[in-house]
């Protein structure tokens, strides 16, 4: 696997045009697929093996940029970073971590919109591996069943904990909720800030990025979209 990666990098590094195109793609936050791009052998290594390999390679990175790896403050950093990536920040890559959403019968016959807003979004930009943080607002109309509110948060968290592009994250959350709830009547709205915009490149600390996905009645009925946007207190003009 490592030889294959080195071969790909070697071929890419010989092409200056490729580097320029990749820089532009990253700055434009372009994504190539709705599905998270994973190799077929992505889960052959267990977590401990992944941590060990990442620890070694991150130590090499720190050494290359000139840090003293014998310093008490730094010598444990490669392990801490490796564990953080595998067990925390990118835990949403593992299918077994996907939340099991339990549905309940809508015994009250509630047919109006249910909105959960200000759901925490903490993700990682896949172009620069810097944080994305913000809020998600979600609505759905029951087709006969309802989902526990905390499970909506868990679904957002699961798809956030992986290298992401905000557009893909929005779509993945919406599609998962449609599947779980057995309805197309789902709306997802994410307002987030990107550290790859704030801390590098243009270094704009004031801007945020908004993405949305409207399905079913939210896509077809402008008044229903307006009701949703009004509920999350967004400017409708």
Residues with catalytic function: 125-128, 166, 194, 196
Query: How far from chain centre, in Å, is Cα 103?
Result: 24
Rounded to 5°, the CA angle 217-150-172 comes to: 50
Strand-strand pairing, 103-105 and 209-214: unpaired
How many Å apart are CA 8 and CA 54, to the nearest integer?
19
How many Å apart are CA 60 and CA 67, to the nearest integer?
10
How many Å apart are CA 202 and CA 204, to the nearest integer?
6
Q: How many CB atoms lie within 10 A of CB 183?
A: 18
* Dihedral pair phi/psi, residue 234, rounded to 5°: -105, 155
Q: Report helix, strand or coil for 163.
A: strand
Q: Please give the DSSP secondary-structure letter assigned to residue 102.
A: P
Contact status, residue 209 vs residue 166, Cβ threshold 8 Å:
yes
């Amino acid at each position: 696997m490592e030889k294959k990666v080195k071969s790909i990098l070697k071929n890419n590094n010989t092409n200056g045009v490729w580097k320029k195109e990749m820089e532009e793609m990253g700055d434009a936050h372009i994504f190539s697929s709705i599905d998270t791009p994973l190799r077929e052998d992505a889960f052959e290594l267990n977590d401990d093996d992944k941590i060990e390999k990442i620890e070694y390679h991150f130590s090499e990175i720190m050494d290359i940029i000139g840090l003293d790896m014998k310093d008490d403050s730094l010598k444990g950093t490669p392990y801490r970073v490796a564990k953080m990536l595998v067990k925390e920040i990118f835990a949403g890559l593992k299918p077994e971590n996907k939340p099991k959403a339990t549905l309940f019968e809508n015994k009250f016959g509630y047919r109006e919109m249910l909105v959960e807003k200000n759901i925490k979004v903490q993700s990682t930009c896949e172009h620069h591996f810097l944080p994305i943080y913000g809020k998600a607002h979600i609505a759905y109309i029951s087709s006969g069943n309802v989902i526990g509110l905390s499970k909506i948060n868990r679904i957002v968290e699961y798809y956030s904990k992986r290298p992401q592009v905000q557009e893909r994250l929005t779509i993945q959350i919406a599609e998962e909720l449609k599947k779980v709830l057995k309805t197309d009547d789902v709306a997802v709205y994410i307002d987030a800030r990107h550290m790859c915009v704030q801390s590098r490149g243009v270094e704009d600390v004031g801007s945020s990025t908004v993405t949305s996905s409207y399905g079913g009645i939210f896509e077809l009925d402008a008044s229903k979209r307006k009701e949703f946007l009004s509920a999350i207190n967004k400017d409708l003009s």
